[in-house]
Amino acid sequence: MTVTSHDQASHTLSEILSQPQCWSACLGQLAQSGGLIAAVELAKPRAEWVFVGCGSSYYLAIVAAATFTELGLPARSIPASEIMLYPELSLPKGREYCPVLISRSGLTSEVLRAARLLEQECDLRTIAITCADSSPLESLSTATLKMLAADEQSTVMTRSFTSMLLGLQYLGAAVSGREDFRSDLLELPVQVKPLVELMPERLRGFAHSHSFADYIFLAQGALFGVANEAMLKVMESSCSYAQVFHTLEFRHGPKAIVGPATLMTFFLSESSYQHELEVLEEMKRLGAATLVIGNTVGAPARKSADLVIELGLHVQECARLAAHAIWGQLLGVYAGIRKGLNPDSPNNLTRVVVLDGHH
């Protein structure tokens, strides 16, 4: 792949492009780990799974909760700050819960405070997932899934997001007994590797040849959490204004901003393809620039797309969510480079959010 000097200097970009190999390493280690066994043993038959995180980890929680629900395991996501500040609203008494705490570093203050509250005050056994070894979060939690191969130099989360997502999906497959889903997760890195070798150049060329004032990300169902993460990647990496909506909700007011300076990225699902296609066609008629990401895009969607990224993966829809996340990460990096920004030094950001006086 041809890259610019900025691209070559970016460890953020190299970490994004390393994801298929990273996923294979992480899933291989997880399958043999005592942490996975301990986490599966904490599952309760009638309990609600509650996925907890901050920032990218919260968006990861949204995707994980959707996956568990799809697997027949009731689940929801919640920001760690809500557990800290409103525990009674977050976890009503009289119910069974399986909380899962998500933090790349295992150092995020709100997640640590949520872990203490859940374990010590609520007397709930928690599962942590992190990319660090021997972290404070691990010491606070009953079981820990460690995706050590996914740790990053970069400030923004990229391969850690997708690797921890796959780790949680693997846990869901183990708890639900869905061997078909587990097999699809293991197959995913093999199928995604050629895409990562071929597709980024097209996206880079598109991002470098256009200047957009606004970025909109649209999705439905399990892809909505991925769209949130794509929105955040563009904000973090390119200091651009970005928003996210459920696809059909965008008609109800937000479409007032649509115009040539708006790039609208559609994450097309197979489950609700026809409904989402109608929105795509309408927004194109209104003058939006459009990027379409989907597994099978189809001729009608291509007619309304300025750029298409078609994955063509042969795994079930919920097992390929991590593969959709790559393109929002790359779009953010390429848009930032076009503006002269260094993706390794995002504005106002640090790798870990640690609140004063709280660790």
Query: What are the tens digits of pLDDT across the range 270-313?
Result: 999 999 999 999 999 999 999 999 999 999 999 999 999 999 99
The H or E element containing residue 28 is helix 19-31
Say whether pLDDT at 358 is over 80.
no
pTM for the whole structure: 0.94
The reply to whether domains 5-189 and 199-338 share a CATH topology is: yes
pLDDT for position 348: 61
Where on the phi/psi map is residue 79: left (φ > 0), alpha (ψ -120 to 50), or beta? beta
Rounded to 5 degrees, what angle do the CA atoms 176, 179, 181 make? 85
Say whether pLDDT at 342 is over 90.
no
Q: Report the distance separating Cα 228 and Cα 205, nearest Å.
A: 24
pLDDT for position 258: 92
pLDDT for position 29: 97
Say whether pLDDT at 345 is over 80.
no
Listed range (83-87, 203-207, 221-225, 345-349) with the worst mean pLDDT = 345-349
Residue type, 24: S
| List of residues 6+ apart from 139 with CB closer than 8 A | none
Region 61-70: mean pLDDT is 98
Listed range (28-37, 195-204, 245-254, 347-356) with the worst mean pLDDT = 347-356
Cβ atoms of residues 303 and 334 within 8 Å: no
Cβ atoms of residues 106 and 128 within 8 Å: yes
Say whether pLDDT at 3 is over 70.
no
Distance of alpha carbon 195 from its chain centroid, rounded?
Answer: 18
Region 211-220: mean pLDDT is 94
Partners of residue 290 on adjacent β-strands:
264
Q: Give me 26's structure tokens.
A: 């992480």
Mean pLDDT of the chain: 93
Region 172-198: mean pLDDT is 97
Say whether pLDDT at 351 is over 80.
no
Which one-letter DSSP state was computed for residue 312?
Answer: -
Q: Report the distance separating Cα 43 and Cα 8, nearest Å.
A: 44
- Return the percentage of the chain with pLDDT > 70, whole number: 94
The CATH code of domain 5-189 reads: 3.40.50.10490
pLDDT band at 4 (very low <50, low <70, confident <90, very high): very low
Give SS3 for 105: coil
Cβ atoms of residues 188 and 323 within 8 Å: yes
pLDDT for position 347: 66
User: Which has the closest alpha carbon to 326: 212, 199, 217?
Assistant: 199
Domain positions in the chain: 5-189, 199-338
CATH class, range 199-338: alpha beta
pLDDT for position 242: 96
pLDDT for position 155: 84
pLDDT tens sequence across 105-162: 999 999 999 999 999 999 999 999 999 999 999 999 999 999 999 999 988 999 999 9
